[in-house]
Structure 1
Amino acid sequence: MQKLYPEVIERDAHSMRNSDLTPNTLKVLQTLIRHGYKAYAVGGCVRDKLMGKDPKDFDVVTNATPDQIKACFRNCRLIGRRFRLAHITYGREIIEVATFRGHHDSADIIESVSANDIRSDAKKPPSKVSKLDVSSKAMRKAGELLSSKSDTGQLTRDNIFGSIEEDAARRDFTFNALYFDVEDESILDFADGMESIGTRKIVMIGDPQLRFREDPVRMIRAIRFACKLHMQLPLALSNSIKQNAHLMTNIPPARLFEEVSKLLLSGYGAVTFECLLMHNLLTPLFPLLTPLLTDVNSKEYQFVLLMLKNTDNRIHNEQRITPAFLYAAFLWYPMEERAQERMFDAAMPLHDAINLASADVLFQQSRRIMIPKRFSIPVREIWGLQLRLQKRQGRRCLQLLDHPRFRAAYDFLLLRGNVEGGDLYEAAQWWTSFQEVSEKARISMINELPNSSPRKRRKRKAAP
């Protein structure tokens, strides 16, 4: 892999300052430097500030190993097997600290094995161990503990540490290889990242085919940056994403939940959705939904797009959002289709069909994106309330208003009504009015419902 060398951009030639970091990020950097290590703010916080945006993520990189980082902070815990990281916690704020990554060639692996591992082999009688044996075992152990790749070339473990130059070469895009030095407020630019920011073009470090095989998530990161930062995807990079989109199926479902949340809940979900579809990336993420999106004028396509536009507006207006609503919308029509199949094939009531189809669809989706229970349970509740909101059964309407998922289910019905029209639209408008009127007017609205007349008691026949 290529080795990069930095251009030093002095303090007066850029707009970033120490005050742009959170106090705790600055504290972490200064503590590491005080202990004799090199440490820099890197990635998103530098990129966003230089692009005129307020940074939200603050990542730190250092030449200290994870164990050395932990020794510097009492409030530190080490996480991850695939990437060994340090999380330093200050209340709700977590500062993520990574060690400089190195290259994955044989020399790096040998150097990464501790001397103790080799000395333990050297204790064997000389006749039973050679230098080649020691080297081979060191290589095998390093492959198991520090670095490993799948058959497709994907990095499944990446704990080879190196220099800052190697770390820069290991980063995905040129604008993410910008390192901010808090000691003199200069920026180290290893890959012409400043030029990428100036031209608004996404440029990958290294060969895109190889880099996407190493970590397919880089493809959806490219889409996210293009949409969120209003940057251009060069044609060659765009074509490479389309060709390698199938590699996303190799990513563990648990990892994809966070990545997809960042992707679609960043305030630019609608344009991101269309970009994912264009680059063949929606199929490996939502295999149940994609077959229903062949026509941009279909209710399925319009429903998802309208939901994402509304979510984007809520984010820009600093209103609350939840991933549960996102997944409820993405999987609603696949679930509805399964429920209809069960109704006709097994002749079961709609309510039971929806319950079984909900479990089935969420299970199938979890094989691609693992949805935590704190979100999958609300998804099922939103779906389950749709039938009750549509029927509007007498005084049960008053009880529904107190249901903890009523607001989310109502918003969901409103979206469906706006897309599908007809009875759904009429029911959504009824609920809109029902929430706004007085208690007395609510009783009147309930009495006017077609199915609100009191049920007549059946007279018992007299005993013979």
Structure 2
Amino acid sequence: MARTLQHAGFSAYVTGGAVRDMLLSIPAHDVDLATSATTADIIALFPGAVEAGGRFRIVLVPIDGQRIEIATLRPASADSASRQHCPHIAGSPAEDAAQRDFTINALYYDPGQERLTDFHGGMADLQDKVLRTIGNPDERFRDDPMIMLRAIRFAHRLGFSIASEAVASIDRHAALIAKVSPERLFAEVARQLTSGQAAGCMRDLCRHRLHAALLPELRKDLLDSQSSFTGLALQSVDDSLARGTRMSASFVFAALLWPQLKRAWDALQKNGWGVMPALERAAHDVCSAQSACLGIRERVAGDIHAIWSTQAYFAIGPHRAGADLDQHPRFRAGYNLFQLRCAAQEVDPELANAWSAQRRR
């Protein structure tokens, strides 16, 4: 694909995570290309290409069941506004590299000349296993606070340390996360929760006070709580992913937010609400409050609600719940959540044993 662009007279480079992961000998999650071609040029060259919005305008090109992201090289003055309104302006690789987040993501590989260009010492940082921002971290984080969250995810995914100056800057600027759109925050937190390193990522969010604008109750449930449920749930998710078991974002969020849901559910029942009405109201309240700061997508929120609803049936036991509970669209995810609750000793042992015996039949 890069050669197609080059044969058309444009410069083209493989960059970002694809180069980084190749050099680390790990599977690349995404393939990104940077080119001197404009958005219109790219779409004209590749049938089926689709323009996508976001902080910077990119073009998605389907090939062999994968979507390649192609972006025009950013000029020195580029920001989210100028890129949105001037997609015909291309910069140089050096200008584009200066605007990337981390040195290890600013490596440019030219497949035509088989040449790797390192503008900001990314190769040395790869060797030292250090995650370092390009330029002053204070300026980087003020420009895009999301980079602080990405630092946490990359550090855990790659097994790197975060440069000390960046750590200090994160601690100074954690509150800026509240300025990021809830939709972008949801996408990033979902990536962290399904990265296979959810437990470590969530603990670091709390340690650096990044959780406050995302998951306000997380510190209480993960670090300060006497209950082991949240830590157990996150570790269980990581273990499942390590075994190759696919975990949906809906289930992971349902487990992560369960302590909040349970507190609200219990409080309503103490005030005389029935089991199911109390759960439905608690689920609505928790999802609504969380969506305001994390922008949980409507479909995901519906799935979370459905997973939680199964817990009311599990609470009344297998005989009263009825055999058709197996037909519930989120039964498997609901039962997995119930098993986590059993492992955390949140469920009466007799009830847990009754469901285990029923499932073995």
TM bucket normalised to smaller? over 0.9
Equivalent position of 2:203 in the other structure:
274
1:18-167 aligned within 5 A: 28-80=1-53, 82-90=55-63, 92-104=65-77, 146=82, 161-167=90-96
Structure 2: distance between partners of 1:415 and 1:80 = 39
Conserved in 1, the CA contact under 8 Å of 2:131 and 2:161? yes
| Aligned match of 1:322 | 248
In structure 2, what is the Cα distance between the partners aligned to 1:371 and 1:422? Answer: 28
- State the SS of the aligned residue for 1:368: helix
How many angstroms does 1:60 deviate by?
A: 0.7
CA contact (8 A) 1:66 1:86 kept: yes
Taking the TM superposition and a 5 Å limit, the aligned residue runs for 1:176-191 are: 176-191=105-120
Secondary structure of 1:282's aligned partner: coil
Pair member with larger Rg: 1
- Equivalent position SS for 2:34: strand
Q: Could you say what secondary structure the match of 1:183 adopts?
A: coil
Match of residue 357 from structure 2: 433
Structure 2 vs 1, CA of residues 209 and 377 (structure 1 numbering), >3 Å: closer, same or farther? same
1:146 aligned partner, one-letter code: S
Q: Counterparts in 2 of 1:30-429, with a 5 A limit?
A: 30-80=3-53, 82-90=55-63, 92-104=65-77, 146=82, 161-295=90-224, 298-299=226-227, 302-344=228-270, 347-394=272-319, 396-421=321-346, 423=348, 425-429=349-353
Residue equivalent to 1:3: none
Give per-residue Cα distances to partners, 1:20-40, cap 9 Å, x unaligned: xxxxxxxx2111011000001
The one-letter amino acid paired with 1:365 is Q
8 Å CA contact retained: 1:245, 1:284: no
- By how many angstroms is 1:306 displaced? 1.4
Which residue number in structure 2 is paired with residue 123 of structure 1?
none
Deviations along 1:81-115, whole A, 9 cap, x unmatched? 631111112364211101111223xxx79xxxxxx
| Distance in 2 (alpha carbons) for counterparts of 1:50 and 1:427 | 52
TM-score by length of 1: 0.73
Q: Which stretches in structure 2 are left out of the alignment for 5+ residues?
A: none
What amino acid sits opposite 2:351 in the alignment? A
Counterpart amino acid of residue 148 in structure 2: M
1:246 deviates by 1.0
Q: 1:99, 1:413 → 2: CA distance?
A: 48
Alignment deviations for residues 335-381 of structure 1 (CA, whole Å, 9 cap, x no partner): 22223333445x32232121111111111111122222332122112
Deviation at 1:221, TM superposition (A): 0.8
Shift of 1:52: 2.1
Secondary structure at the aligned position of 2:29 is classed as coil
Give secondary structure in 2 for the equivalent of 1:283. coil
Q: CA deviation at 1:387?
A: 2.0
Counterpart residue identity of residue 120, structure 2: A
Which whole-Å deviations, capped at 9, do the CAs of 1:272-306 have from their partners, x for residues lacking one? Answer: 1111111111221112443444525x21xx21221
Distance (Å, rounded) in 2 between the aligned partners of 1:57 and 1:147: 22
Quick one: which amino acid aligns to residue 350 of structure 1?
V
Deviation, structure 1 residue 393: 5.0
What TM-score comes out, normalization by structure 2 length?
0.93
Partner-residue secondary structure (3-state), 2:60: strand
CA distance in 2, matches of 1:294, 1:47: 33
Size of the alignment, in residue pairs?
Answer: 360
Taking the aligned partners of 1:291 and 1:307, their CA distance within structure 2 comes to 15
Structure 1 range deviating more: 55-64 or 371-380: 371-380
Any stretches of 5+ residues in structure 1 without a counterpart? Answer: 1-27, 110-142, 149-156, 438-464
